[in-house]
Amino acid sequence: MTDVKHMKWWGWGLEGVAFEHEDKPGFAPFILEQLALDLHSVEPSGMPSFDKVTVAKSLASPAFTKSLSDIVGISNVTDDKMERVVHAYGKSLRDLVRIRANQIERTPDLVVYPETEDEIQQIVDIAMAANAVIIPFGGGSNIGGSLEPLRTEKRVVISLDMGRMNKVLEIDSDAGLARIQAGALGPDLEDQLAAKGWTIGHFPDSFTHSTLGGWIATRSSGMQSDKYGDIADITRGLRLVRPGGTVVIRPIPSASNGPSVREMILGSEGRLGIVTEAWVQVHRVPAKRDVYAYFFPNFETGLKAMQEISESDAAPTITRVSDNMETRFSLATSKASHGITKFVSGTVLPAIFRSKGWNLDEICLSFIGYEGSERHAKLQKKLVDKIVKKYNGMGVGKGPGILYDQKKFDTPYIRDFLLDRGAAGDVSESAAPWSKLQKLHDGAVDAAHDAFKKIGAQGVIISHLSHSYHSGACLYFTFGFKFGKDALGDYDIVKSAIQQSFIDNGGSISHHHGVGLEHAPWLEDDISASGIAVMQGLFDSVDPKGNFNPGKIVAAPGLDQGNSGSALKKSAATKPTTTRATSSASKAAPRRTAGSTAKAKVNAAK
Amino acid sequence: MTDVKHMKWWGWGLEGVAFEHEDKPGFAPFILEQLALDLHSVEPSGMPSFDKVTVAKSLASPAFTKSLSDIVGISNVTDDKMERVVHAYGKSLRDLVRIRANQIERTPDLVVYPETEDEIQQIVDIAMAANAVIIPFGGGSNIGGSLEPLRTEKRVVISLDMGRMNKVLEIDSDAGLARIQAGALGPDLEDQLAAKGWTIGHFPDSFTHSTLGGWIATRSSGMQSDKYGDIADITRGLRLVRPGGTVVIRPIPSASNGPSVREMILGSEGRLGIVTEAWVQVHRVPAKRDVYAYFFPNFETGLKAMQEISESDAAPTITRVSDNMETRFSLATSKASHGITKFVSGTVLPAIFRSKGWNLDEICLSFIGYEGSERHAKLQKKLVDKIVKKYNGMGVGKGPGILYDQKKFDTPYIRDFLLDRGAAGDVSESAAPWSKLQKLHDGAVDAAHDAFKKIGAQGVIISHLSHSYHSGACLYFTFGFKFGKDALGDYDIVKSAIQQSFIDNGGSISHHHGVGLEHAPWLEDDISASGIAVMQGLFDSVDPKGNFNPGKIVAAPGLDQGNSGSALKKSAATKPTTTRATSSASKAAPRRTAGSTAKAKVNAAK
């Protein structure tokens, strides 16, 4: 068997690693207050039983399986139950709820682990000849429903796991470019680069469990994107295996050679073929890499400060500001003896806040990062500090920043912790012009609370701004609520409300999580019906029989899209209209309702 | 009649404006030395006679014409001969040679001037119903053959002149975004923005005669792109009229919503529909905007300095360094009493150069720009100066920079001046990783000189680096030679050799001039056969009958591509191969030979 490691089949991250709250005295009170969930009395459901998971028989014939093992070797093709289950889903809340409920809609029939691009070309050509479906699989961290086969898929489905293709192949140190295989996980490639003094500078929340190929497939963005750019900027060249041949985009810093095929592949979620490797920008590991913490009196001033920083001569690498509720959550998840909790729960900082006339129910925590030479980092901080001061912000040093750096990849574990205890936690993010961010924020918060009311649950939604650009930024929302008997039904109502609020307030359906099945219903509102028609034209023309991850982003021809929670038919309509995609035109009721989704009973303690 | 102004029908720029050399004592000697052309003895051919220009009868029926004038008004639809001639070509060397030789392959049948997007939608829908062809027309400065109808086109061809749609419609000052109509020329939109304290920061060489829509259609890049980005970065949202509806891409700073439809429209040269307006990033006019001049001992050190600047903490807005031949050309085109010529022709600077051991036949002139607050600009210059010094460069102050700023848009006039005197001048540009730039430079210079030898002419090729990115930069080449009896045949040999050298040395076919018919033969070498297949799939699916500027970038289905000098069939082959697009695979002989082009006798003095 292959030695490619995967996350828990039923949850985020590594076996044996879990979120704990005993050392975080603020956590249980926060959850009790916000979700009406008493962590001290609830009995966690724990890991579900794999024996109870049922998986349909693989559709792959022995002959077909053999044709694949002739290519990659017998140990790299499998229809093993665990392998098929691990590759059935990503790690969205929807995925976790379904897998805990033994509701696997359609597992891949085979999991194949290629080692070379040449093998992938052969696999693709054999799969096309057999009219099979191929879904590329990286770290499995996707939360948009991009990895699951359509429930109604009658053809053989191959999950093409890229995990063996994890090498940094080449570094062009003159150009600051590295050629890296698509299956390399964040730590894989960063370690290989660091060994030679380089960094890719791309650190998404999923970093530890996501791959370069996955980043490219979903247009990922990392925490230091203010400096290093999004993966769409970082990726200069790439190779995409398609039936009969490979698209080769050479690493060119900028080119005028027609519509960008590179930018068609970026975000394509496997629908155009298999990305095997990419030339990405790399940078010398900087002498300085610091994250400082600040407080603002409220979110509005925090947003304004971030905007002014983005317009200024300062060039920080991270700009992030939490709203008050996320600030409280951050304090609640800090260990008693560490960082800001110590500050804020002490006497000094609250006294200072009070002396400034700040309301503790409005204060906002911010992190700003600086990188480069010692001198450059210092200067940037000086420029930023001046702007922070103008907006009545206040620096509290590097301590909390170090803490932020250490736990930035751990948040997803909390979701499993909550799910074990009958509560849902998930995320939605959007981007919009600076002029619309406050409205986008307030709109999503209001929409979530209206939805909580609708499902009769107490819930919380927290948010931060991150990833600043000249004209706007990303707002990242995390929400949680104690669900009722129909976890997915409740979830759909909340998630739909938040997504719809993005559209209504001028935001994109996603800033860096992709479309998949999950966000597809709003794609038409985002890029217009005629925009969908253009995209659909591309997919239908390049993949006429829908062999490459069909149904994701927009509908594939002739396939029923009806997986749990996807009302994709509506959004994938290709009929162009002359309607302007204004917010007024899109104020219709949420498209995704509980009624359109399959019901799932969740194995959770009451 | 409409009051939209156009460039000379036979040349660049405004009537009455022309290049003069009498006040530039170095120019005639340079031309004599480099092109073996004696400006003092040659008799200029002057402006050709419009009376001798023959234009075929318009194919548009009175009924069709009326249906259009019912939309835009009778004064905004015309089959006037001058209008049709002005819209037949862009301003490439090939265009100028052909128009002077009365070799207009196919004029548009009608020129239509819409005023609103709604009118364009009606025009598009009527044109589709009649199976007519639409070619959008901005400033007419295109040099890639993007504006000419295919010679064999049997359908009615409409040139859709966007000149009446030239307004800045809206400024979102909070977000730094402006909504601007696609037909606005550079000065139009910059003046409207400047009136409110804003700038788009996009200044391509063609600025005075090119439009926002044209920039978008060809992926333009401006001189300050190091700071402001290419037009692909600047353009955040846009609207594209298509049959039956409009693609609306809202202004989002960055989004993860599938393959980028925005990036499909950018560079599409009218093949996907008509761009009517865009949301673009705008910036407050900076307090400081200075261009400083430097000298380097040779091009190699100049390149190295630019690379180190791009990697450094410094953030200049322009980084440009000329090779020695372009340096000599710059000196030769300077007025005796001004700027660097005065310096270099004096005694002080040469003495300094000699004292440094520099060879005057190797020195390279460089321009570096700084913008922002007084303090920021000063700091950037300080950081840059340190790097310049490290590479033995030497600053010579702002004087030549001011000169550069003033004459930067005038160079195209020289081409007409030379054409009048039996010599061709044209440009080709490419981009490549830093590690390949020296080779790209030397390869193009060698290829050009080999080609000059082949055509039996003395010629010159000059070059500069501009537009720096993290991983590479653009190299811009200008070449000239005295042509023989077959100007276009000679030109094809030289241009082909240079384009082929780009591919052979890892460069793109173009950095910011687009594809059109001119660069299409090398597109397959640039983005691979499978890449072409993807792009062709997009076009064929979205525009199945080839109604939108057919044949540009890649072939349109069922149409003969055979305009002068376009061997497009070869490059547009959609057969995917597994061949890697390496330089070794593309070292075939130039695809475009004189034999494949129509012959043109040029009305030029011997």
- Which of A254, A541, A579 lies nearest to residue B537, judging by beta carbons? A541
A184: tokens are 């390399």
Cβ-based contacts of B435 with chain A (< 8 Å): 172, 174-175, 177
Asked if A519 reaches chain B (Cβ–Cβ under 8 Å), the answer is yes
Q: Which of residues 320-349 of B touch A (CB under 8 A)?
A: none
Cβ-defined contact of B261 to A531 (cutoff 8 Å): yes
Q: What is the pLDDT of residue A227?
A: 94
Q: What is the pLDDT of residue B592?
A: 33
| DSSP per-residue string spanning A75-121 | GGEE--HHHHHHTT--SSHHHHHHHHTT------SEEE---SHHHHH
Q: Taking CA atoms, what residue in A is nearest to B242?
A: A530
Q: What is the mean pLDDT of the segment spanning A11-39? A: 93
Asked if B510 reaches chain A (Cβ–Cβ under 8 Å), the answer is yes
- Report the run of H or E that residue A504 belongs to, with start and end: helix A487-504
Residues sharing a CB contact under 8 Å with residue B33, sequence separation 6 or more, in sequence order = none
- Which of A250, A254, A268 lies nearest to residue B511, judging by beta carbons? A254
A119: tokens are 């093998």
Are B377 and B55 spatial neighbours (Cβ–Cβ below 8 Å)? no
Among A257, A374, A517, A518, pick the best mutation site for testing chain B contact (most B Cβ within 10 A): A257
The C-alpha atoms of residue A147 and residue A159 are separated, in whole angstroms, by 8
CA distances from B162 to B5, B116, B206, B212, B364 (A): 11, 9, 17, 10, 41
Q: Taking CA atoms, what residue in B is nearest to A173?
A: B435
Q: How far is CA A17 from the centre of its chain?
A: 20
Asked if B513 reaches chain A (Cβ–Cβ under 8 Å), the answer is yes
Quote the minimal CA–CA distance from B371 to chain A in Å. 10
Q: Which residue(s) pair with A112 in the sheet?
A: A77, A160
Q: How confident is the model at residue B586 (pLDDT cuts 50, 70, 90)?
A: very low
Asked if B254 reaches chain A (Cβ–Cβ under 8 Å), the answer is yes
Comparing C-alpha atoms, which of A446, A297, A248, A313 is closest to residue B532?
A: A248
Q: Taking CA atoms, what residue in B is nearest to A372?
A: B313
Of residues B136 and A585, more confidently modeled: B136
Q: What is the pLDDT of residue A595?
A: 29
Question: pTM (2 decimals)?
Answer: 0.93
What single letter denotes the amino acid at residue B309?
I
Q: Taking CA atoms, what residue in B is nearest to A266?
A: B259
Q: What is the pLDDT of residue B559?
A: 65
Q: What is the pLDDT of residue B581?
A: 33
Q: What is the mean pLDDT of the segment spanning A177-199? A: 98
Residues sharing a CB contact under 8 Å with residue A269, sequence separation 6 or more, in sequence order = A144, A146, A217, A218, A514, A515, A516, A549, A552, A553, B258
Among B205, B234, B257, pick the best mutation site for testing chain A contact (most A Cβ within 10 A): B257
Q: Which of residues 353-372 of B touch A (CB under 8 A)?
A: 372
Quote the minimal CA–CA distance from B376 to chain A in Å. 7
User: What is this model's ipTM?
Assistant: 0.92
Give A486-509 pLDDT, tens digit per residue: 999 999 999 999 999 999 999 999
Cβ-defined contact of A267 to B261 (cutoff 8 Å): no
What single letter denotes the amino acid at residue B414?
I
Give A359-392 pLDDT, tens digit per residue: 989 999 999 999 999 999 999 999 999 999 999 9
Quote the minimal CA–CA distance from A369 to chain B in Å. 15
Asked if B436 reaches chain A (Cβ–Cβ under 8 Å), the answer is yes
Q: Which of residues 84-123 of A touch B (CB under 8 A)?
A: 121
Among B180, B438, B471, pick the best mutation site for testing chain A contact (most A Cβ within 10 A): B471
* CA quadruple B123, B126, B127, B131: dihedral, nearest 10: 170
Q: What is the mean pLDDT of the segment spanning A54-67? A: 97
Comparing C-alpha atoms, which of A450, A287, A316, A446 is closest to residue A381?
A: A316
| DSSP per-residue string spanning B428-458 | EEEEEEGGGHHHHHHHHHHHHHHHHHHHT--
Cβ-defined contact of A257 to B526 (cutoff 8 Å): yes
Cβ-defined contact of A469 to B531 (cutoff 8 Å): no
A374: tokens are 């010692």
Q: Which residue has the tokens 């050190």?
A: B301
Of residues A580 and A296, more confidently modeled: A296
The C-alpha atoms of residue A209 and residue A90 are separated, in whole angstroms, by 11
Q: How confident is the model at residue A46 (pLDDT cuts 50, 70, 90)?
A: confident
B132: tokens are 């007519």
Q: How confident is the model at residue A1 (pLDDT cuts 50, 70, 90)?
A: low
Q: How far is CA B382 from the centre of its chain?
A: 33
Cβ-defined contact of B251 to A433 (cutoff 8 Å): yes
Q: Taking CA atoms, what residue in A is nearest to B582?
A: A250
Is the model's pLDDT at A9 over the cut of 80? Answer: yes
Asked if A70 reaches chain B (Cβ–Cβ under 8 Å), the answer is no
Cβ-defined contact of B255 to A511 (cutoff 8 Å): yes
SS3 B484: coil
Comparing C-alpha atoms, which of B517, B524, B474, B512 is closest to residue B495?
A: B517
Q: What is the mean pLDDT of the segment spanning B257-261? A: 98
| DSSP per-residue string spanning B123-186 | HHHHHHHTT-EEEEESSS---SS-SSPPTT--S-EEEEE-TT---EEEEETTTTEEEEETT-BH
The C-alpha atoms of residue B524 and residue B520 are separated, in whole angstroms, by 8
Residues sharing a CB contact under 8 Å with residue A515, sequence separation 6 or more, in sequence order = A144, A146, A267, A269, A509, A523, A552, A553, B256, B257, B258
Is the model's pLDDT at B147 over the cut of 60? Answer: yes
Comparing C-alpha atoms, which of B128, B553, B532, B525 is closest to residue A541?
A: B532
Q: Is A476 a catalytic residue?
A: yes
Q: What is the pLDDT of residue B1?
A: 63
A455: tokens are 């499902």
The C-alpha atoms of residue B389 and residue B384 are separated, in whole angstroms, by 9
Give B295-334 pLDDT, tens digit per residue: 999 999 999 999 999 999 899 999 999 999 999 998 888 7
Q: Which of residues 117-156 of B touch A (CB under 8 A)?
A: 121
Of residues B101 and B399, more confidently modeled: B101
Are A94 and A419 spatial neighbours (Cβ–Cβ below 8 Å)? no
Q: Domains of chain A, with CATH numbers?
A: 288-408 (3.40.462.40), 413-596 (3.30.300.330)
Is the model's pLDDT at A345 over the cut of 80? Answer: no
Cβ-defined contact of A174 to B252 (cutoff 8 Å): no
Q: How confident is the model at residue B590 (pLDDT cuts 50, 70, 90)?
A: very low
Cβ-defined contact of A172 to B473 (cutoff 8 Å): no
Q: What is the mean pLDDT of the segment spanning B561-584? A: 38
Quote the minimal CA–CA distance from B369 to chain A in Å. 15
